[in-house]
C-alpha cells in the first residue's frame, strides 16, 4: 500500500472509530477496559522487547523464501536479507505484540494457531500470555523459522510447535488432527483469496469462544475486501476493527455487530 493511500485509509478509519462511551455491548466494553486500555507494565513485555532488540541488532544475512503476497505472481520469491531488516519489515511492532499478549491473557485460549511465524515475535507473546496452552505456528521460510525456533528454546517457550512449510501444504493436515481452535492469528500471505481460503479452513474448527485475529486488514485493496467478507460471514457475530488488526468472534449470545474502535 503506498504512503498516501495508507494515510487516507487511516484518516477514514479515525473518523469512523468510536470510544468506549459509545459502546452498548457489555462484551466489547469489557474488552476495551480490560485489554485496549490496560496500561499495566507486565514483566513479560521486557522479555518481548529484549527479543526484538536482539533481532534488531543482528546483521546476519538469512535466505528469505517468501510464499506470500510479496512474491506477486510467482509461487515464491527468494532473496537475502539480514535478521535486523526481517524483524523490522515482517516482525510485529512492539505495541501490537503487547496488545496480542493482553488479548490472550484476557481470553485465556487453550488451543492456538498462527499462520506466519517469521522470527517468532507474536508467537512469543502467545507463549508468555498462555504458557499452559498448545501453540502451533506455521512458517514457510526455513531460515527465519530456525531462528525463531532457537529463540523459543532459549526462552523455554516449550509449548510452541513450529511447522515449516507452506500454509497450503501444512494447514489442511494440521487441522485434521486438531479438535476446535480457541485462537487463530492470520499473519502471512496477504492476498484476498488466500486469506479467505485460510479463514474458511479454520472456520471448520471454531467453537463459541473462538477468536480470529487478522493482521494488516488495510494493507491492500484485497486485504480490505477479505476483511469485509470475513466480518459479514454469517457465523461471525462481533467484529472489532483496530486498523492494524481485525478481530472476529463467533459468540452466539452476542448480536451481530461491527465495531470500529479507537486504539
Ligand atoms: C508478517 S510475517 C509474520 C510476522 C510474525 N507473525 C510476527 O508478528 O512476528 C509473515 C510470514 O508469513 C510467511 N508466509 C507468507 N506466506 C506463506 C505461505 N503461503 N506459507 C507459509 N508461510 C508463509 C512469510 O515467510 C513470513 O515470514
Which residues are 183's β-sheet partners? 112, 211
Has this prediction a pTM greater than 0.85?
yes
Ligand 1 pocket residue status of 151, Cβ below 6 Å: no
Longest dimension (CA), the chain: 51
Domain ranges of the chain: 3-52+90-260
How far from each other are the two terminal CA atoms of the chain, in whole angstroms? 21
pLDDT at 110 over 60: yes
Mutate to test the pocket of ligand 1, among 81, 94, 139 (most ligand atoms within 8 A of CB): 139
**Grid cell locating 61:** 544475512
Helical residues (DSSP H) of the chain, grouped into ranges: 3-16, 26-31, 43-57, 83-90, 94-107, 121-129, 142-154, 167-176, 192-203, 221-231
138-166 pLDDT, tens digit each: 999 999 999 999 999 999 999 999 999 99
Q: Which fold has domain 3-52+90-260?
A: Rossmann fold (3.40.50)
Find the 188 Cα to ligand 1 centroid distance in Å. 4
Task: Indicate if ligand 1 lies below 6 Å from the C-beta of 182.
Answer: no
Using a 6 Å cutoff on CB, does residue 92 contact ligand 1?
A: yes
What is residue 31's predicted lDDT score, i.e. its pLDDT? 98
Amino acid at each position: 500500500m503506498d504512503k498516501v493511500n495508507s494515510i487516507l485509509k487511516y484518516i477514514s478509519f479515525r473518523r469512523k472509530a468510536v470510544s468506549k462511551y459509545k459502546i452498548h455491548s457489555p462484551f466489547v466494553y469489557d474488552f476495551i477496559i480490560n485489554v485496549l486500555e490496560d496500561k499495566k507494565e507486565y514483566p513479560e513485555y521486557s522479555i518481548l522487547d529484549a527479543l526484538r532488540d536482539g533481532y534488531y541488532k543482528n546483521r546476519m544475512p538469512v535466505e528469505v523464501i517468501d510464499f506470500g503476497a510479496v512474491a506477486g505472481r510467482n509461487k515464491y520469491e527468494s532473496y537475502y536479507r539480514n535478521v535486523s531488516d526481517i524483524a523490522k519489515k515482517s516482525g510485529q511492532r512492539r505495541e501490537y505484540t503487547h496488545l496480542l499478549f493482553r488479548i490472550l491473557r484476557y481470553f485465556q485460549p487453550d488451543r492456538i494457531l498462527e499462520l506466519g511465524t517469521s522470527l517468532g515475535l507474536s508467537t512469543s507473546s502467545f507463549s508468555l500470555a498462555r504458557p499452559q496452552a498448545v501453540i502451533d505456528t506455521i512458517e514457510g521460510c526455513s531460515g527465519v523459522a530456525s531462528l525463531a525456533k532457537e529463540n523459543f528454546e532459549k526462552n523455554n517457550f516449550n509449548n510452541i510447535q513450529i511447522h515449516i512449510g507452506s500454509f497450503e501444504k501444512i494447514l489442511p493436515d494440521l487441522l485434521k488432527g486438531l479438535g476446535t481452535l480457541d485462537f487463530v492469528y492470520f499473519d502471512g500471505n496477504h492476498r484476498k483469496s488466500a486469506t479467505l481460503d485460510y479463514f474458511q479452513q479454520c472456520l471448520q474448527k471454531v467453537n463459541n469462544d473462538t477468536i480470529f485475529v487478522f493482521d494488516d486488514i488495510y494493507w491492500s485493496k484485497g486485504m480490505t475486501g477479505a476483511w469485509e467478507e470475513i466480518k459479514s460471514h454469517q457465523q461471525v457475530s462481533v467484529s472489532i476493527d483496530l486498523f492494524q488488526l481485525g478481530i472476529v468472534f463467533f459468540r452466539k449470545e452476542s448480536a451481530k455487530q461491527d465495531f470500529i474502535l479507537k486504539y
